[in-house]
Amino acid sequence: MSDPTLRPRIALLPLDDRPVNVKLPGDVAAVAGVTLDVPPAEILPAYRTAGDADALGAWLRERAADPATVHLVVSVDMLLYGGLIASRTSHDTTRDVLARLDVLREVRRMRPELPISAVSLVTRASNSYSAAEEPEYWTAHGKEIHALGGDAHRLLGETDVLPLEELTPVPADVVSDYATRRLRNHIVNLSTLGLVEDETLDFLAITADDTAPFAAGSAEQVWLRHWMRMLPSGRRVLMYPGADEVGAALVARALAGNAGVTVSFAVACADAAGMERIPPYENMSLAASASRQIRAAGAVEVAADADVTLVLHAPDPDRHDMFRGRPDAVDTAAVAGTVALVRERLEAGERVALADVRYPNGADEALVRALADADLLGRLEAFGGWNTAGNTLGSVVAVAAAAVVGRATGSFDERAARIALLTRLLDDFAYQAVVRTDSGPSLFPDIYPMADDARVAEASRVIRAELTALLESMLPADGVRIDELTLPWRRSFEIGLVLR
């Protein structure tokens, strides 16, 4: 029997501790039969408590020193701030966080041949009054801060700098706290471009979640794009909408690179006009976003004869959000078009992965039920329908690409592929679109984490029972069951699933 410690391993420093950032990349690696290493929970962040930046840097050095490690995938936000929320709330100085980038330089000197892929986020400015993942003053000023970013973006070409009170009613001390943190994070993003130029990094994705065509983050992308044009290596950097899915996409990239396999995707959509829509919370068309997600995973987009056909269920023109409940009416034509396209491509012998980007924060319930009725769900290579379009696209592409790599190398794990598919169907459809919509208001009093252990336990019990019923009644379970269900941040927005 071969020694499992000698099998190739990928080390991931994730964006935060939630399952989509830790378990989803692990599912991707498992599909290709490869082990993924992640830091121990005790040094990762826990909701608003930042991770241990020094310990995380030391862990990364240790993984790099292990000859079995064939690729490092690094979230810069985790390495520098201790996680996603910490990047928005911490008071670490620019000098302190930039010094932590030296870990990557040390790794490059230690193992010049070890590929390093990284992702760094453009800081969001949530258009809400929720401080669940933001500084506390978001409850009073969140929407106004978001609007300030958009208004300032519109003034980029102006030469005059208006008095602050003419731009926003937000107090100057609040704007100062917010803006100086954004400035620090923007300097970090500019610095990561330098790490590509000096070949410390082999690949860099700069991504943005919860943005808009006019926003503080979109303005910063203009400046970043300027330097991407100026620096010779800038053409190797990808910038696009996304966040929580990027770890999975970069793990897929690492799998393909290590195996020497180039995965090809053909993109198909029953609604041609939908390809040009800009999905909610993003700032580029669906077609452009899909293309970048494919490239981020180390794959290529082709017109025909692809390894995988990526079918897109196009965004709703009315921009409905499943977080607010089911849409008032089902678009039967859109559902029928996507079902027909999936069936046609499967019957043509193609491997089909389905990215349901109809609505943010949950799958199109009518679509999934129609696919189940047509006995097509179990034939999909991958499925996704969670959070933003970018989140869905990246995770679907990652799982499908991993399957292609696994088959090419003879290490494809069919059981892992089934678990990856069912995990997303249970989370994105059964939970987000059905159970959360129906039972969420009674189980969760608001969007903040619940302090009461009994309420958390009761919510977990109810959700598990309802998901089990859906798994057994309509999903392609094939003997898979829910082994564990958790509420990692003790709120309704995400669940953690372990399937067996």
Provide φ and ψ at 497, rounded to 5°.
Answer: -125, 135
Encoding tokens for residue 283?
A: 């700032």
The 10s digit of each residue's pLDDT in 24-72 is: 999 999 999 999 999 999 999 999 999 999 999 999 999 999 999 999 9
Q: Is the dihedral of CA 212, 218, 221, 225 positive or negative?
A: positive
H-helix segments, 363-452: 365-373, 389-409, 414-424, 436-443
Q: Encode pLDDT of 311-362 as tens digits.
A: 999 999 999 999 888 998 999 999 999 999 999 999 999 999 999 999 999 9
Decide if pLDDT at 2 tops 50: no
The confidence score (pLDDT) of residue 365 equals 97
Q: Does domain 262-412 have CATH number 3.30.70?
A: no
- Cβ(159)–Cβ(219) below 8 Å: no
DSSP assignment letter at 162: -
Q: Residue 7: which pLDDT band, with cuts at 50, 70 and 90?
A: confident
Report pLDDT for 446: 87
- Other beta carbons within 10 angstroms of residue 343's beta carbon come to 16
Q: Tokens representing 12? A: 């991931």
Residue 199 to residue 178: CA distance in whole angstroms: 32
> Above 70 in pLDDT, residue 462?
yes
What is the rounded CA–CA span in Å between residue 375 and residue 475? 9
**If you average pLDDT over every residue of the chain, what do you get?**
96
Q: Single out the residue of 422, 399, 403, 420 nearest to residue 412, CA to CA.
A: 403
How confident is the model over 135-164, as a mean pLDDT?
97
Q: Find all residues with CB under 8 Å of 496, minimum gap 6, and list them.
A: 18, 19, 23, 484, 485, 486, 487, 488
What letter does residue 186 receive in the DSSP assignment?
H
Domains 1-260 and 262-412 share a fold: yes
Q: Measured between alpha carbons, how far is residue 95 from residues 181, 191, 445, 487 in Å? A: 12, 12, 41, 36
Fold held by 1-260: Rossmann fold (3.40.50)
Query: What's the rounded Cα separation, in Å, for the pair 407 and 414?
Result: 10
Write the DSSP assignment of 231-288 as a string of letters: SGGGGGEEEEE-STTHHHHHHHHHHHHHHT---EEEEEES-GGGGGS--TT-SS-HHH
Whether the Cβ atoms of residue 202 and residue 116 lie closer than 8 Å to each other:
yes
Cα–Cα distance for residue pair 27/370, rounded to 1 Å:
26
Residue 184 in 3-state DSSP? helix
The secondary structure of 321-386, three-state, reads CHHHCCCCCCCHHHHHHHHHHHHHHHHCCCCEEEEECCCCCCCCHHHHHHHHHCCCHHHCCEEECC
Residues 365 and 433 sit within 8 Å (Cβ to Cβ) = yes
pLDDT at 154 over 80: yes
At 322 the pLDDT is: 93
Residue 4 has pLDDT above 60, yes or no: no
Structure tokens at 481: 């069951």
Query: Residues 378, 382, 385, 387: what is their CA dihedral angle, to the nearest 10 degrees?
Result: 150
User: Who's near 388: CB < 8 A, 6+ residues apart?
Assistant: 209, 210, 241, 242, 243, 279, 280, 281, 282, 360
Place of tokens 């979230």: 75
Q: How confident is the model at residue 106 (pLDDT cuts 50, 70, 90)?
A: very high
Question: What average pLDDT score do residues 161-169 get?
Answer: 96
DSSP 49: B
Report residue 421's pLDDT band, with 50, 70 and 90 as the boundaries: very high
The span from the CA of 329 to the CA of 97, in Å, is 49
- The SS3 assignment for 22 reads helix
Structure tokens at 472: 């057994």
Residues 6+ apart with CB under 8 A from 271: 314, 334, 337
What are the tens digits of pLDDT across the range 86-103?
A: 999 999 999 999 999 999
Q: Which residue has the tokens 């995380």?
A: 56
In sequence order, what are the beta bridge partners of 72?
A: 11, 116
> Domain boundaries in the chain?
1-260, 262-412, 423-500
- Residue 109, pLDDT > 60, answer yes
Q: Nearest-CA neighbor of 96 among 76, 80, 83, 120?
A: 80
Q: How confident is the model at residue 447 (pLDDT cuts 50, 70, 90)?
A: confident
Question: Which residues make Cβ contacts (< 8 Å) with residue 107, sequence separation at least 6?
Answer: 60, 61, 64, 72, 114, 116
Residue 412's Cβ-count burial label (10 Å; 0-12, 13-18, 19+) is: middle
pLDDT band at 210 (very low <50, low <70, confident <90, very high): confident
Q: What confidence category does residue 5 fall into, taking pLDDT thresholds of 50, 70 and 90?
A: low
% the chain with pLDDT above 90? 96
Residues 35 and 19: their CA atoms lie apart, in Å, by 17
CB 350 within 8 A of CB 310: no
* For range 405-424, the mean pLDDT: 98
pLDDT at position 1 over 80: no
Q: Return the structure tokens found at 74.
A: 């690094």
- Quickly tell me which residue has 């491997």 as its tokens: 351
Give the dihedral of Cα atoms 458, 463, 466, 470; nearest 10 deg: -160
